[in-house]
């Protein structure tokens, strides 16, 4: 079964750090670009970041640029999101998403994880 499983969400204080993980199974992880998308509970979706197949190219939303780092370990079939200098407005469910077709062209997410909740609060 094709699956993505996120982990690492937690309650953290403003200014703190957290690392999210997304473990893939059931498909050849190393051939897919991967993305993070977040959603404030009860609100809309917001794209966060993407990484290419070998990790050499990354892109970020302006709201997280300079604070978040996306990376991957293809040997472990795992995607990461290192989140530093966290703000209250980073509170959200974080999803990893696999784009249809694998490459950079069809960024329509056909596989999503169940999400992991990050709460930034004092």
Q: Which stretch binds another protein (CB under 8 A): 20-28, 69-77, 80-88, 109-117?
A: 109-117
Q: Which residues pair with 37 in a beta bridge?
A: 47, 95
CB nearer to another protein: give 13 or 109: 109
* Residue 115 near another protein by CB under 8 A: yes
* Residue 110 near another protein by CB under 8 A: yes
115 and 20 Cβ atoms separated by less than 8 Å = no
Closest CA to 34 of 79, 95, 89, 87: 79
Residue of 109, 116, 118, 120 interacting with another protein (CB under 8 A): 109
Residue of 32, 50, 51, 68 interacting with another protein (CB under 8 A): 50
Q: Which of residues 1-40 bind another protein (CB under 8 A)?
A: 35
* Residue 107 near another protein by CB under 8 A: yes
**Angle value at C-alpha 94, between 90 and 96, nearest 5 degrees:** 140
Residues near another protein (CB under 8 A): 35, 44-47, 50, 59, 61-62, 95, 100, 106-110, 112-115
């Amino acid at each position: 079964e094709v699956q993505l499983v996120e982990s690492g969400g937690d309650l953290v204080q403003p200014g703190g750090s957290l690392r999210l993980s997304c473990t893939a199974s059931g498909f050849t992880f190393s051939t897919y670009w991967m993305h993070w998308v977040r959603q404030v509970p009860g609100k809309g979706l917001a794209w966060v970041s993407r990484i290419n197949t070998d990790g050499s190219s990354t892109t970020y939303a302006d709201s997280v640029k300079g604070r978040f780092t996306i990376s991957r370990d293809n040997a472990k079939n795992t995607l990461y999101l290192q989140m530093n200098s966290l703000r209250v407005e980073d509170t959200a469910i974080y999803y990893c998403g696999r784009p249809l077709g694998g490459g950079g062209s069809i960024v329509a997410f056909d596989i999503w994880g169940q999400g992991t909740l990050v709460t930034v609060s004092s």
